[in-house]
Structure 1
């Protein structure tokens, strides 16, 4: 799900390095992204009262806090860190997905 930046968020801190890494431009997010309230409602409906595990819980918690504060709602779910053994598996999977995306982009551009 693409997220439209909340009106209260400063765009001065927009990181061009992160934009390049994730291949998501600010213009795309502004045009196609979901508003924070809509995104939070989708997350709450999908996750319910679940325990959610994250590989970078400090970073994820920070962004979730900002998102839910902008939407003025509370998350239904609880965020927890992943056990170390699983974290390595997830990082390898993310690297594989990144390589697949890069290959797909090369294939599309010729």
Structure 2
């Protein structure tokens, strides 16, 4: 169990949407929600070296490449704003394997380095939280009423899932602890029970 999880009330979350999956994919949108609740979101204009595009991924995030070219922000601008926003804050992701590779790709294209560290949410979540993570995330999405596969909405959903899964885990632990602390019903001593059994009483009267 992570020793520092109890000190993190609202973890700062980063999430990417991307052109697809695989080594050639690139980030197209980034969303961040800080512990304070401050949120950031930006479409990312594809760098000239980024050519990969997956139509199935587009069906999920609903962002066309032409929209990115028209409305996206230059990679240097996005990286500078992320550094200013996050500073030295630790950011977390629930899809770290992909998000970390897209973060590296983004900053490499900008010839910059992030001021913050991106870590997997598993580094601060307990086993109990992870055990109920998927179910909790579904209920959080329903309660928030947000669309999935948009970076800022997903970042908020991940943060709220962390909070709610911890609450559920604490409730379950308290319930289990309460159950284990209930004193068991004492068993009557077998020898004592035989003294007061109907047969022994009858035998005593006959004698």
TM-score by length of 1: 0.78
Q: Is residue 56 of structure 2 the alignment partner of residue 7 of structure 1?
A: no
Q: Shift in Å at residue 88 of structure 1?
A: 3.7
What is the CA deviation profile of residues 53-97 of structure 1, one whole-angstrom value per residue up to 9, with x for unaligned ones?
101011000000000000000000001111262654774345642
What is the CA deviation profile of residues 24-52 of structure 1, one whole-angstrom value per residue up to 9, with x for unaligned ones?
00000000000110010010010000100
Unaligned runs of 5+ in 1: 102-110
Q: Separation in 2 of the partners of 1:65 and 1:43?
A: 13
Q: Say which one has the larger Rg.
A: 2
Distance 1:14 1:65, change over 3 A: same
Name the one with the larger helix percent: 1
TM-score by length of 2: 0.43
Aligned residues: 98
1:97 aligns with: 146
The SS at the match of 1:4 is coil
**How much is the aligned-residue C-alpha RMSD, in angstroms?**
2.3
Q: Separation in 1 of the partners of 2:48 and 2:99?
A: 20
Unaligned runs of 5+ in 2: 1-41, 151-207
Name the one with the larger strand percent: 2
